[in-house]
Structure 1
């Protein structure tokens, strides 16, 4: 994205027709060259290329393979921006491809849609072009690809293809294209190449592991003369997968995440193949804490004895896509906290410092400063709050369930709320206009008074409330005009959090988030949302949702302290949100939404670890609302993950209503209900995709709700979009919501006449 989100602004300008393709390409080229130069200047030997993307690395692979779904009317040749961005974002006539979370991160990738009839062809020469571009700048790079097996394992059968279709059966069809790319790279002078096969950290079946052997055997002759690295990350590599990986033909070395994959260290020590390179991922690519250099050096020295001095390469644990760009751009963080941190630019320096220390050129001053910062963090009084620790410890031993079951609560709530069948609502945010952002920015910079700020936000809330009443939506939201981000807004009001000015991380496409940093124990000094929610409720007689972000999402969308277990931090956040829920209820808010958009993404990659995570994550959610009355309706919201495998944990959250992404993933969610899962609480599977500018018709939404009614009871179904509306424009939001309400009303009339 660039240190100041340069790519984001260039993309959005291009999409809005305010700049040309050439303008966008120029910004992209400048970003690539500055990154390559930065790594080269820092002394990095193996510099990656083909890691830049206009939208998503998996989509880039789909383009390279020419695997464009038929609905985009691509007629062959090199894939241009029109087709590429239509796949990513949809266009006026067709929807986008599905987007889902990349492993257990907050990055989203575009899911390939494949089947037996896909005609693959070499349709994007991006990898070779960028390798040559770097070479022309005097930088010899290592081109990086999503590996062929992981690409297929991350894909889904296209619409109309049997769900049981074996995606790995397409391996023989895509490998010839990988071979073409490899041949061009060799011709251009490449000597190293990297394949990311991150699916190797998951629980794979024997036939899936065999596919890796088959793929790399087939690529072996094409790769002769090249050093081939296969990279894994985000978790331990299981013993069987380690065996498969380290036996792959034609592979020169392997990258392992030794931060999140500590058990892999044991496998390396006992059975690492001789003569191979080990890229040791000791610098955390997913968090912002400075590396414990002395600890890492000890690990590296132990590995040196196993793999040999000339075969050990110091590396980050994964791509630096998942961390902030450069600490240099942080002018407002205080010096103490800043000394505890390392962003991507600093991690590159850490990698080089460790490599030099291994080679006998240790920078004593740099290592001493690092040791002092580590010690300061351990002893700082800012980190520990004994009262919070005590309150969180007292949570153990209770499961924090509301006293009454959900069906009795829903009856009590209906008597109070008096909602129609198929009640309509939205997820929370409304469009964040340029004017709105300006008001917040000026207030933060103290250019306008608090009185002026409150007046401006109140006017915006009033507009949003009025619009929803005109549209005849049943349960309203205040639109969140006062919020910059659904996690940062809360973190700014909780103790134990620090904030960056430019710590942006890509979430998808041009969408970036600025995760807060949780450095200490968390508590809530005062109410955070009651003022705005009460103000909004006074503007209408309809129910107004209080809008909160849940503890698991705040945790998973922050840079979390690494000096205590994650669940302890989560319980602390849950207690803070519990205080807020109870204050909203006291203020007369009868519907409170506690978003857990990121609950699924924190699920460990290995099944053996699922139960423990889901137990404390679901428990944390229940803690937040255990104290409310039966008549207070608790909603939660989840999006952009595959929820089918955790549906029983979702039911166990015991929310009164859950709104959940459904439309962009082609209604995959509904299949669990078709398969007989009984769900008794309220549920609103999204009826249209808000991440696309496309406006769905009333008929399309009507059909979608009808599909839901085939598997869900009429009295529990809600009608809502997939997600919040902050990234959309009012010109898109208003007609889409009009169509949504019209579809709900039409169905109510049809259901009434059927009786």
Structure 2
């Protein structure tokens, strides 16, 4: 039998972020709806043609999304929150954007749906909302249009649909005494309708994504899983797709459902292939995810050639694919003109990963391993590059670390008193998370400096001018703890990578984080160290402009690691420790120069948590220690902040406490402070700054609503340990939005303070 190849999804942003640009132009009313749709179609057609050109056996459709694929699923199922349904019940692309971003008119503001992390990635999705009277119907038929587009390019079209069980798991219900499974039959009926439409179009295979199979599922979920897929039995072949972990613990589900194929992620999950031989029927197609969909290094195709050859001895119905969707990697390495050739040949972006699948399937089908040798050769030369760049002093330093190197001198109780005396802050101190608006002029300034159109002296002078403006604006607003606004930073991870040894950068290595938000992760290719101060000049200057404390702003070791593309020859633990030691030197310099509050952001801490319970503690141990190592030598009077956003904290609240940061700021505004519930049952010992302003929506928070949220927080968190802040940085907002929102935030806080006094 011929081994077929396929991917689980292709990046949707366009080769040069065309979708992001079009979205933001549409939102600002610079292009029409028809123009936006035209650009989206061009991106989809180009993606399909590129997949065909690279030799894929299937054209994958349904991987495109106007914001995120979970929200697209909600639209497809007709699951629209009531507050977004208009008088004529019309559902269109504007409905989708309203759900994602909120909508504001002269008469009222409607809050967007919640947003959170997609499993253990930096991709975000809009959380589906469920209620007793939720209505489901197949009214948004974008998928059918995309299938028609694909059928004009190739006959072997494979639609991708998020599975009903994962969709239910990803959503939220805000009603008491309501079981979301009461909605299951309604949802399954829509899926049946969709399958029927696909069958009429001649579709032979559907990819149904059920990533929750990597989780430890309850008996209720297992029971309903089996029920659902028996209910959905149809004439189209179903490839049940799993990723982000091993599913061996849920094989009992697979054995009881009528599917024709199963996809296994061999990158994130380790499998005993003897068990797979025993547990899967011979008729079942097994798709092996052997091309890493979350990292950009070339695949050792020879390694997988021999592995698959072993499997073929007892099973010949094998496909090969990417481990997960390729939305987590950049589009095409060939766009990169500034990376040295010897390094460039080490990497494989989405287009190249498609080609890797073609190469591997060709070698297996023709029984010719020599087809792979030239592709793999650069990986062998990388070993020599690493050997030449190994920092032996750093290696010895890590080996010599002791338990005391991960601890601050005294407990929070002692530190709190010293910080209170040193900083003399008012009750309910107001601060922001770090960044201020990144205007078009500011981006142009950085671009001009990067392209050597202005010299360093001129660049620094102009950045200082922006910092001065940021400080003056905050003082006018009467904010208590100021920030310099981060005008010198393109991205919170990329900026630090640019100023540390061991990182490599791309021009077009963009990856979607959510909606139109794209990030450009740096590549970690050798040992990491710090040769000079990174933030000191900017923070010192900002502090010289005011008598109020200015926070030093750093990105934490776990976030720098997880929001980069890390090397694969050493452990994450070692990489995080290298970064922590570099940050420790930076923190020492800030403190030595009179910076008394330092924020080390760790928004990726929860994201890196393994999906299976058995693996979680090992990760949390080294992740927490890397943060503690970076701050361990600061004085008691120096206040350490950290920030986390858009994730579920309940299952790691003890670990967050173990970080021992003096103040933690978190995202709560978008969920109506729901995340604070975890503080009811857990006596969090240190200070907390819940987010009182959802910065990802253009809506301006109203003073009365902020007052309500502060009062709600005061019932759970001691007033002496409560901080007031937005839920994230303000770089994506305009100055008009920021000023209006922060005015209301300050006014609301003053109102509460006056009532207390």
* TM score, norm. by length of structure 2: 0.96
Structure 1 residue 528: Cα displacement: 0.4
How far residue 576 of structure 1 moved from its aligned partner, in angstroms, is: 0.5
1:214 paired with 2:227, answer yes
Describe the superposition over 1:96-138 as per-residue Cα deviations: whole angstroms up to 9, x where unpaired: 1000000000000111010221111222111111111211334
Residue of structure 1 in register with 2:424 after alignment: 418
**What secondary structure, in the 3-state scheme, does the structure 2 residue paired with 1:422 have?**
coil
- Asked if 2 retains the 8 angstrom alpha-carbon contact of 1:237 and 1:264, the reply is no
Matched, 1:50 2:62: yes
Q: Structure 1: give runs of 5+ residues left out of the alignment.
A: none
Displacement of 1:169 in angstroms is: 2.6
1:303 pairs, out of 307, 311, 314, with: 311
Q: Deviations over 1:411-462 (max 9, x none)?
A: 1111111100000000000000000000000000000111110111011101
Partner of 2:735: 730
Q: Is the 8 A contact 2:302 2:369 kept in 1?
A: no
CA distance in 1, matches of 2:153, 2:346: 34
Query: Does residue 117 of structure 2 align to residue 101 of structure 1?
Result: yes
Is the contact between residue 299 and residue 376 of structure 2 (CA under 8 Å) also seen in structure 1? no
Q: Secondary structure at the match of 2:293?
A: coil
1:379 partnered with 2:389: no
- The answer to whether residue 201 in structure 2 is matched with residue 188 in structure 1 is yes
After superposition, residues 437-448 of structure 1 pair within 5 angstroms as 437-448=443-454
The whole-number CA distance in structure 2 between the counterparts of 1:338 and 1:430 is 34
Aligned-pair CA distance for 1:9: 0.1
From 37, 55, 75, the equivalent of 1:25 is: 37
CA gap of 1:735–1:281, structure 2 versus 1, over 3 A, is same
Distance 1:659 1:323, change over 3 A: same
Mark the runs of 5 or more structure 2 residues left unpaired by the alignment: 1-12
Q: Could you tell me whether the CA contact under 8 Å between 2:672 and 2:709 is conserved in 1?
A: no
The separation in 2 between residues aligned to 1:265 and 1:724, in whole angstroms, is: 46
- CA separation in 2, counterparts of 1:479 and 1:371? 44
SS of residue matched to 1:282: strand
How far residue 612 of structure 1 moved from its aligned partner, in angstroms, is: 0.8
Does the alignment pair 1:687 with 2:700? no
User: What's the counterpart of residue 595 of structure 1?
Assistant: 601
Q: Which residue of 1 aligns with 2:5?
A: none
Q: Could you tell me whether the CA contact under 8 Å between 2:405 and 2:632 is conserved in 1?
A: no
In the alignment, is the contact (CA less than 8 A) between 1:7 and 1:28 conserved in 2? yes
- 1:547 maps onto 2:524 in alignment: no
Q: Does 1:660 align with 2:673?
A: no
Deviations 1:529-586 (A, max 9, x none): 0010001100111000000000000011010111111111111100000010001001
Counterpart among 738, 744, 751 of residue 749 in structure 2: 744
1:592-671 equivalences in 2 (<5 Å): 592-671=598-677
Distance in 2 (alpha carbons) for counterparts of 1:227 and 1:184? 14
> Is 1:114–2:118 an aligned residue pair?
no
* Cα displacement (A) at 1:368: 2.0
Deviation at 1:327, TM superposition (A): 0.3
Q: Deviations over 1:238-285 (max 9, x none)?
A: 32x123124311x11011101111236453244222111111101111
Partners of 2:161 and 2:87 in 1: how far apart? 25
Q: 2 CA distance for matches of 1:237 and 1:701? A: 44
Secondary structure of the equivalent of 1:600? coil
Moved over 6 A (4+): none
Instruction: Identify if the C-alpha distance between structure 1 residues 36 and 76 changes in structure 2 by more than 3 Å, giving closer, same or farther.
Output: farther
TM-score, with length taken from structure 1: 0.96
CA deviations over 1:692-712 (Å, ceiling 9, x no partner): 000011111111000000111
Counterpart of 2:707?
A: 702
- Change in 2 beyond 3 A, CA 1:247/1:274: farther
Contact 2:530–2:582 (CA under 8 A) maintained in structure 1: yes
- Give 3-state SS (helix, strand or coil) of 1:559's partner: coil
Q: What corresponds to 2:567 in structure 1?
A: 561
**Cα distance in 2 between the residues matched to 1:509 and 1:371:** 35
Deviation at 1:395, TM superposition (A): 2.3
Distance 1:709 1:447, change over 3 A: same
Matched, 1:129 2:134: no
Q: Distance in 1 between matches of 2:80 and 2:275?
A: 40
User: Do the aligned residues in 2 keep the contact of 1:537 with 1:544 (CA within 8 Å)?
Assistant: yes
Out of 282, 304, 309, the residue aligned to residue 290 of structure 2 is: 282
Task: Report the 3-state secondary structure (helix = DSSP H, G, I; strand = E; otherwise coil) of the residue aligned with 1:144.
Answer: strand
Residues 216 and 181 of structure 1, relative CA distance in 2, 3 Å threshold: same
State the SS of the aligned residue for 1:48. Answer: strand
Give the number of aligned pairs.
740
The residue number in structure 1 matching 2:244 is 234
Structure 2 CA distance for aligned equivalents of residues 390 and 343 of structure 1: 34
